[in-house]
Structure 1
C-alpha cells in the first residue's frame, strides 16, 4: 500500500492500470491479429449462455439496444455471429456464434491465456491460483451488485 493512501485507493489505481493494459491488449503482444473487444465479449457470452436476442444481450451488458445491434451487425458482417432462426412470426431473432466465430473465439482466448502466462511466468503457482480465485471473486461480486451475472463455461 502506498504511503498515505487507503487500500481502496490502491485498488482503484491498480484497477485503472489493468484496464489500461487490457484495452491496449498488452498480454497479447507478439500476435498479428487481435479480436475486437466487443466481438470477443459478444461471442463469449453467446458461447457461455446460448442463443440470445439483441434485447437480452443489451440487458445482460447494461447497454442500449442500438449499441448491441451495431455490434451484432458488425460481427455478423465478419461471419462471427449468425441468426438461429429467421422465420417470419418469430417473436425475437436469436443470435449465436457461427462455426467461424467459435473457432476465432477459442483461438483468441487461447492466445490471451498464453499472453497472460508469459506475463506471470515467474510467479509461484499458489500466487497464480490466488490471483485467479480473487479476480473471479471480484468479478462475481461486481456482477451480483449490478444484477448482471455472467455465465462461466
Structure 2
C-alpha cells in the first residue's frame, strides 16, 4: 500500500469516526425530543407509545398485526402499547369492516389535533434554529440524510 493510500484510509477512518460521533449526538437529541413531544401530547405518554401514535396518525386505522410488522416487535408489545394509548384516550378500537373478527386501532380526533400542534411547534422551532440556512443547503442536507438512511437499510 502506498503512503497516499494509507493517508487516505486514515482520513476516511477519521471521517467515519466523526460521523459516528455526530450521529450519536443526534440520537441523544432525538430521544430527548421524542420524550418532550410525547409529554406535549399527553403528560403520561411514553416515548415508544408516542412513536406508535404518530405512525397511526400518519397511516390511518390499522390492525395490531400491521403495527407489529411495521415496528418489528411482537404482538404482545403492541398490545401493551395500544392499551396504554387506550387508557390515555388517544386511540380508539373498532371492528375491522373487512373482517369482523379483527379490530382496527385509530387515533382519536383530539390526539390528532395534539400531534398536529406539536408538529407545528417543532417545525417553528427548527425554522428558528435553521433560519439562516439557505433552502439549497437544507434541501441538500435532507437529501444526504435520506441517502445515509437508505445506505444503512441496504
Higher relative contact order (CA 8 A, sep 6+): 1
Match of 1:7 among 5, 15, 23: 15
Structure 1, unmatched stretches of 5+, are 146-153
Quickly say closer, same or farther: Cα 1:124–1:69, change in 2 above 3 A: same
| Residue 110 in structure 1 maps to residue 106 in structure 2 | no
Cα offset, 1:4, TM superposition = 7.5
Quickly say closer, same or farther: Cα 1:85–1:40, change in 2 above 3 A: same
Alignment of 1:4-153 (within 5 A): 5-25=13-33, 33-35=39-41, 36-85=46-95, 90-142=100-152, 145=154
Identify, as 1 or 2, the structure richer in strand. 2
The structure with more radius of gyration: 2
TM-score for both structures, normalised by structure 2: 0.73
TM-score for both structures, normalised by structure 1: 0.73
Q: Report the counterpart of residue 148 of structure 1 in structure 2.
A: none
Range 109-118 or range 131-140, more displaced: 131-140
Aligned residues: 138
Quickly say closer, same or farther: Cα 1:13–1:40, change in 2 above 3 A: same
Cα offset, 1:109, TM superposition = 1.3
SS at match of 1:25: helix
